[in-house]
Amino acid sequence: MTRWALGVEYNGAPFFGWQTQVGVPTVQAVLEEALARIAGAPVRVIAAGRTDTGVHAAGQVVHFDSTADRRPEAYVRGTNAGLPPEVAVLWARVVPDDFHARFSAEARRYRYVLLDRRVRPGLLAGRVSFDHRALDASRMHEAAQALIGRHDFSSFRASQCQAKSPVRTIHELTVRRHGPFVVLRVRADGFLHHMVRNVVGVLAAIGAGERPVGWAEEVRQARDRSAGGLTASPQGLYLEAVDYPARYGLPSLVEGTAWSPFCD
């Protein structure tokens, strides 16, 4: 039995999230179906994180076990031949048996892309979030610094979140303007359900001048979801990368990714 790790990117717009569900298309389902053709047997993949409906990934990582004798190229090119155009395997690596896509991860990185202009997007529909308000990215970045560190993020947690603890550590959190886009990037040891989208909802209200810069810290300290703002839409959210210990030999960032205008 060999354990494999794969790097996967996908446009989440046509899918009802990552996790397999009866009667609707999901990323996990189409990936497992394509892998099974190459492995010659059913395959079950474990992901670093389960993304919601409409959420995208530039650097999702999964693992699976197989008895099939295959080269890495087979699990890249062969699997891609059986996938819909919105999903692609980027790389494949043999990993030790103790590797786990979810539990071996040291940190996860998300990116949220906001287009703030008077009219909704056409060309980038489904791939960016839209806000008709003019947003001040500098104010948003200043406010965001109050969220860095180890805190109770109950105020940014969805009511249906199943995590045992609301405590998480945010290592990095930046908000920058890139032309017509406001881009939030966050790295943390883990995320609660809707945590990034709820953070964006609070910061966007601050960026629009509807709330003071100090409101982000007030919301965090309240430890109550009702103290926060609206949940931002899923369309602008990307699982950017997952960080693992160096001993596994996996790419620390997605290789060959060029998704301008969202790059720094």
**What pLDDT is stored for residue 252 in this prediction?**
65
Do 107-239 and 2-104 have the same topology in CATH?
Answer: yes
Q: Pick the catalytic residue: 52, 65, 152, 189?
A: 52
Rounded to the nearest 10 degrees, the angle between the axes of helix 137-144 and helix 195-207 is 130
Sequence-distant (6+) residues with CB within 8 A of 262 are 111, 113, 178, 181, 183, 238
Under 8 Å between Cβ of 50 and 57: no
What top-level class would CATH report for the domain 2-104? Answer: alpha beta
Sequence-distant (6+) residues with CB within 8 A of 2 are 65, 66, 67, 68, 94
Q: Which residue spans within 133-166 are E strands per DSSP? A: 149-152
**What pLDDT is stored for residue 261 in this prediction?**
45
- Minimum mean pLDDT range among 84-93, 201-210, 241-250, 255-264: 255-264
State the chain's mean pLDDT as an integer: 93
Model confidence pLDDT, tens digit, residues 78-116: 999 999 999 999 999 999 999 999 999 999 999 999 999
* CATH architecture of the domain with range 107-239: 2-Layer Sandwich (3.30)
Sign of CA dihedral 18, 20, 26, 29: positive
The domain ranges of the chain are 2-104, 107-239
Q: Is the pLDDT of residue 256 over 50?
A: no
65 is catalytic: no
Model confidence pLDDT, tens digit, residues 35-73: 999 999 999 999 999 999 999 999 999 999 999 999 999
- What's the whole-number mean pLDDT along residues 19-35? 94
Helix (H, G, I), strand (E, B), or coil: what is residue 205? helix
